[in-house]
Chains A and B, each alone.
Chain A
Amino acid sequence: MFLDPESRLYKQLTPVLFLLPAMAIYLVFALYPTFSVIEYSFTDWDGISPERDYIGLANYERLFSDRIFWEAFRNTFVWSGVIIAINVGLGLVLAAMLARVWKGRLVIQTAIVLPVVISPIAVATIWRWMYQPTGVINQVLELVGLGGLATPWLGNPDVVLYALAIAHAWSTLGLGVIIFLAGLQAVDEDLYEAARIDGATALQSFRHVTLPALRPVTAVVFILTLTQSFKVFDIVWATTQGGPIRFSEILSTYMYKRGALENEYGYGAAIGVSLLVIVSLATLVYMQIEGREER
């Protein structure tokens, strides 16, 4: 180094140089767009023309009376409900079962976690194929004598949202399972021992020992899954693009259509801000719980 390491300038410059690459990229490509999405949401910009006017809260007023926005909002919450039920409910049960199995545990765990690394676009491709009217889901239903339930899953307005949410749950379940497993490993073995001496059945010790001990972890998986459902885009975009009609429209696809495809940039930004607010609040709660656990 050409600077004297003991000089004042060197000491002041060091942290700057260490932080500069990360912070420069972060400020330009993450923080700045976050503030501009808020700014754009107060304009009527179309995304192309040089001029844009500030129109105050007009975009937000429009959101409140936009029926499609509320449909997308509702659909996003239904989506959350489905994947939370599966990731938290089934995730917890699977983790508790896995924790009691020794032989073949790694193989089973690998199989359950593997879908987590599959790209959402690949998930969409796979499930779109399985959901086809002549696809494997309907083939299996015929085979087991439930042919009456067969339906064009992604073309049926009543089931399309649930069908896609299940595909998403398939690809995120493993994450819930490994977080629960990590939580289970922290549960005091003596508690199980005590429960067994008191004559508790496996189910009773699950209810009275496992569940209370896992409450913070459950909250983590809950919020994590919630935020995941608000970030979904790929799975819907690559399958139905929100259709048929609007039956699988979620906030992200609606925002993309308005903002990127229909040149209603300002309005799309307002939808983006609504996503930002929901996810930020949920993440704040998540960090609260995580922080409390670490202490």
Chain B
Amino acid sequence: MIGRYTLALVLGVIAVLMVSPLVLTLFTSLKPTTELVNPAWYPPADLTFEHYARVWSDGGFSRYFFNTVVISLVDAVAMVLIASMAAYALVFVDFRGKMVVKFLLLLGLMIPVTAIILPLYSIVRSVGLLNTHLGVIFSDLALAVSIFVFMFTSYFVGIPRALHEAARIDGATEFQTYRRVVMPIATPAIVTTALLEFLFSWNDLLLRLLLLPRDEMRTLSVGLLNFQGVMTRDVTGLSAGTVIMAVPVVLLFLLFQRQFVRGMTQGAVK
């Protein structure tokens, strides 16, 4: 067919344009300061890692990195647990008030975090969780749990009810059925949830800016924002900080692209 090569060429150019901001940032982060006079698209002639070393230790990024990893991991694991349990009850257990629970969760899909940050701050402060990672984790979980409950629900609905019935007839409790029968075959939903929640958590700025005023509690997002405010002209340091923040999620994305794409098309509301 005519144009197949033209098509590939046009797409190739667009692909290069799309990744170029990332590549240029990587270049800058690896350049000695003397090479900054060159155009940005010149690859570094002499590789240097001094900017990384600088922001990592002096810029405090090592602590920010550690904080971010902790919060994101806890978020991901906790989200898988609470969302899958709630979805299990909604799909496999009969109880009164199921419609009410579903309706309340549905509201959660419509709440933009931005709109409610002011009272959220007040609540986190009044329960004594301001400046704690737990306060951020609870807020993260609360604001995204609806999406993941519905993600698990739609996965569980596809599991034959007979499987659940059989386990119950064999004398397994609901909790044993959840743990030994349903969860082991829910791997796709588990992986998607863990990956997406990790990503949301890793990338968020607003909640962390508000709920973690103390420097030693801060995450990469707030660290990068502050670094930008203080070291406006430190282009290489900023690039290195950006790369430090981007590399883990880029790697995760490259490793689990299929799961990410499926999750992002499903959980697109956030």
Interface presence of A268 (CB below 8 A):
yes
B202 at the interface (CB under 8 A from A): yes
Interface size on A, residues (CB 8 A): 92
Known: A29-B123, A117-B260. A260 touches B210 (CB 8 A): yes
List residues of chain B with CB within 8 A of the CB of A26.
Answer: 104-105, 108, 141-142, 145-146
Look across to chain A and name the residue whose beta carbon is closest to the beta carbon of B108.
A30
Selected from A22, A272, A283, the residue in CB contact (under 8 A) with B145 is A22
Binds A, one of B48-56, B81-89, B183-191: B81-89
State in angstroms the CA–CA spacing of A112 and B116 once bound together. 32
Contact A33 B123 (CB under 8 A): yes
Q: Give A105-138 interface residues, CB cut-off 8 Å to B.
A: 107-108, 110-122, 125-130, 135-136
Q: B60-98 interface mask toward A, CB cutoff 8 Å, 1 = contact, 0 = none?
A: 000000000000000000000111011011100101000
Query: Contact between A283 and B221 (Cβ–Cβ < 8 Å)?
Result: no
A25 to B136, CA, bound (A): 12
Query: Please, which residues of chain A bring their CB within 8 A of the CB of B206?
Result: 233-234
- For chain B, the count of residues having a C-beta within 8 Å of the partner chain is 98
- Could you count the A-B residue pairs with CB atoms below 8 Å apart for me: how many are there? 275
Whether B118 contacts A25 by the Cβ 8 Å rule is no
Contact assessment for A260 and B245 in the assembled complex, using a CB-CB cutoff below 8 Å:
no
Q: By the criterion CB–CB under 8 Å, are A272 and B114 in contact?
A: yes
**0 or 1 for each of A166-198: is its CB under 8 Å from B? (1 = yes):** 000010011100110010000000000000000
Q: Please tell me if the beta carbons of B18 and A111 are within 8 angstroms of each other in the complex.
A: yes
The residue of chain A having its C-beta at the shortest distance from the C-beta of B95 within the complex is A15
Bound-complex Cα distance A103 to B141 (A): 40
Determine the chain A residues whose CB is within 8 A of the CB of B117 once the complex forms: 256, 260, 272
- Given contacts A115-B22, A260-B121, A30 and B114 within 8 Å (CB-CB): no
With A26-B145, A36-B123, A136-B41 already in contact, 17 other A-B pairs whose C-beta atoms are closer than 8 Å: A18-B89, A27-B104, A29-B124, A33-B122, A34-B107, A37-B115, A100-B4, A101-B11, A120-B205, A121-B221, A129-B25, A173-B18, A179-B265, A179-B268, A220-B268, A255-B115, A272-B114
**What would be 5 A-B contacts, judged by CB atoms less than 8 Å apart?**
A21-B85, A26-B141, A34-B115, A125-B238, A283-B269
The chain A residues found within 8 Å of chain B, CB to CB, are: 1, 5, 12, 14-15, 17-19, 21-23, 25-34, 36-37, 40, 47, 94, 97-98, 100-101, 103-104, 107-108, 110-122, 125-130, 135-136, 139, 143, 170, 173-175, 178-179, 182, 202, 220, 224, 227, 230-231, 233-234, 237-238, 252, 255-256, 259-260, 265, 268-269, 272-273, 275-276, 279-280, 283-284, 286-287
